[in-house]
Amino acid sequence: MHERLSSARYDRASAHRADTEWIAEQWADPASRVVVLAGTRIRPVDGAIEWLSPAQAPGGARLMLGVRDGIAHFAVVTTELAATDAWLPLRSLLSFLTQEEAPLILHAVGLAEWMSATRFCARCGLPLDPVKEGHELVCGHGHTTFPRTDPAVIMLITHGEPGTAVEQCLLGRHPTWPAGRFSTLAGFCEPGESLEDAVRREVMEEVGIDVGDVEYFGNQPWPLPASLMLGFTGVAASTDIVCDEDEIEDARWFTREELRAGAETGELILPGGVSISRSLIEAWYGEALPGSW
């Protein structure tokens, strides 16, 4: 099931980012598609992401996302549009994204977030300007800054006889989340730490559970702010939950029946459909579950 996270591939056209003639041709083509961001937010229209022609797009920083099915896709990041309640952050957009466009939107939001957070050169302090269609930033002294990606682990921990009615998975919730919202645990990998050890450390820190075997599941870019979410499954060696009460307000063990029943009634609110967290949960459950954030 986790193959869906990487199945919607497109050509990022990285060789053309400095090719001004090729970029101009694509921008002049009315078939090219553009998504507009107000800062790092996008406004869905009629329950879907709105893709405009270049002629319809407002002014702003242009980002070349790539080519899909022979059609160039761009993003325009503008600060001229007010990010009102109609403009949604990425987490709130998950239910609007199709599998095909999700990688493009993650690409666009990731670059927009990076540009917003990286305004001055770390070497000399001068302002940075985007080049190569938004994939590099350069200061007045010619110092180049590149986007960074931070590895983070996200994991579904289980205990009990695999595949049986008594097997359970572990889900937790952040203190700021609405009532009923639960998700898989996650955290950043520290310097000098293997990904598997990061899984074990984060689970122990957040909920006091000792984890034994850990297996890789899949990955998903998550530009909030610049993460690559590396998914894992793990088997618990202990079951007593002790929440840290800082990052995790509550954590519980759920059987498959409890997951299904809670999702059907809406008492349990699970992550969105294109998220790796959702894929981890549904891969363990065995099929799609109702409801999402």
Residue where one domain finishes, among candidates 123, 145, 167 = 145
Q: For the chain, percent helix, then strand, then coil, each to nearest 5?
A: 25, 30, 45
My answer on whether 86 and 158 are in the same domain is no
Same-domain status, 116 and 225: no
The verdict on residue 163 lying in a domain is yes
The CATH number given to whatever domain includes residue 89 is 3.90.79.20
Asked whether residue 167 falls in the same domain as residue 141, the answer is no
Number of domains, the chain: 2
Residue 291 inside a domain? The answer is: no
Q: What is the Cα–Cα distance from 88 to 272, expressed in whole angstroms?
A: 14
- At residue 293, the pLDDT reads 65
Do 202 and 104 sit in the same domain of this protein? no
Quote the pLDDT of residue 267.
Answer: 95
Q: Which domain holds residue 123?
A: 2-145
Q: Which portions of the chain are predicted below pLDDT 70?
A: 1-8, 83, 293
Boundary (domain end) residue, out of 116, 145, 174: 145
| 57/157 Cα distance (integer angstroms) | 45
- Distance between start and end Cα atoms, the chain: 20
pLDDT tens profile 258-286: 999 999 999 999 998 778 999 999 999 99
For residues 192 and 122, membership in a common domain is answered with no
Q: Note if the pTM is more than 0.85.
A: no
Give domain status of residue 267, yes or no.
yes
Asked whether residue 171 falls in the same domain as residue 115, the answer is no
292 in a domain, yes or no?
A: no
Q: What gap in Å lies between CA 282 and CA 210, rounded to an integer?
A: 23
Q: Is residue 290 part of a domain?
A: no
Amino acid at 181: R
- Write down which residue in 145, 165, 189 finishes a domain: 145
